[in-house]
Amino acid sequence: MNLISKYFKILSKILFVGKAVLRQKSFIKKQLIPQINPYFQSTDETLSEKDYKKITKYYGLIVPAILGELICFLRGQKMSLDERKYSTYQSSVTGLVDDFFDVQNLSLDEVKKIVAFEKAPSNSSEELFDFLHSESLEFYKTRKGYLESLDQVLQVQEDSKKQFQQGLQSREELLDLTIRKGGESFLYYVRLYIENITPQDEKFFYLLGGITQFGNDIFDLYEDIQENVDTLLTTTTSITEVKEIFLNLIKEVFQLSQHVSFNKIDTFLEFYSIGVFNRCIVCLEQYESLQENTPSNLFQPKNNTRKELICDMEKPSNLLRSFTMDIKKEINLSSISSK
């Protein structure tokens, strides 16, 4: 394939994502916002402007528009209106559940009671969750393993509190928690679109979700330092070692992809490389440069500024590096295996 063809191939993927985002934005404006606005008019202050943005501009937008559309592409069927509706509800409650644990300091048992409708809503945040969850429950029941996945997501959310207890977890424990956190959440989202997932598919999606969470931690380094959260990135002194772990996980997910039940898996992973893998490598390379410029040659992010730790993927040089990686196919099974 010549260079021009490769550029057009990348452009077609960007257009696919752009159209998907526009479709979801339209749905949010016409359908979701009129439904959730009344809950944000409450004066109990459990729902904030930050929560509104998380629902309408982050979770409720990105998860259905990017992950949802890619899963529908992978399975070979367009997203139905019901799937768009309930996946938007599903992803919208994610931020609310985070706040149950992190802001309202509810226990796992208390959150489970809210999810099971065993506890009456006591504030606007719980009322909004109750509405979104109750509206979706019958649809969720048609998806095998979905409710079990939700239970696992709640459990790992509780376990992730350990990340706020600095210095208590080893690198292996932090990696395990990262993979579990991302893997369980990913399966929770994927099961809404795929009624029956094979064991091979489940292993693939679980690890891909773990890598996605790893990627979030890579880009959230500055924020996690400010909030005293332990991750592989905040606790390491060697970005080279972190990068090696990340690349080995990508290699493993490519190996697992050879055994899934989907015909479009190669193109799906090309999308994922552009949207996740390449971006993370660009960010890790930025951190590597910071480490190399320290007298001790140790990565010490607490000594770096916000500007140094924020990887701006709209920066022309970063965009060019990301696109170059895709053109050269630096992120695929054969190239990673040779590293």
pLDDT for 226: 95
Does 110 have pLDDT greater than 90?
yes
The region, left, alpha or beta by phi > 0 then psi within -120 to 50, assigned to residue 246 is: alpha
- At residue 263 the predicted structure's pLDDT band, cuts being 50, 70 and 90, is very high
- At residue 267 the predicted structure's pLDDT band, cuts being 50, 70 and 90, is very high
CB 258 within 8 A of CB 193: no
Helix (H, G, I), strand (E, B) or coil at 291: helix
pLDDT for 336: 56
103-127 mean pLDDT: 93
pLDDT for 14: 82
Helix (H, G, I), strand (E, B) or coil at 111: helix
pLDDT (tens digit per residue) in 31-54: 999 999 999 998 888 999 999 999
312-318 mean pLDDT: 89
Nearest-CA neighbor of 212 among 193, 187, 192?
A: 187
Nearest-CA neighbor of 230 among 179, 280, 174, 183?
A: 174
CB 73 within 8 A of CB 264: yes
Does 323 have pLDDT greater than 90?
no
- At residue 67 the predicted structure's pLDDT band, cuts being 50, 70 and 90, is very high
297-320 mean pLDDT: 92
Query: How far is the C-alpha of 254 from the C-alpha of 256, rounded, in Å?
Result: 5
pLDDT for 163: 81
CB 124 within 8 A of CB 46: yes
CB 260 within 8 A of CB 201: yes
pLDDT for 282: 95
- At residue 213 the predicted structure's pLDDT band, cuts being 50, 70 and 90, is very high
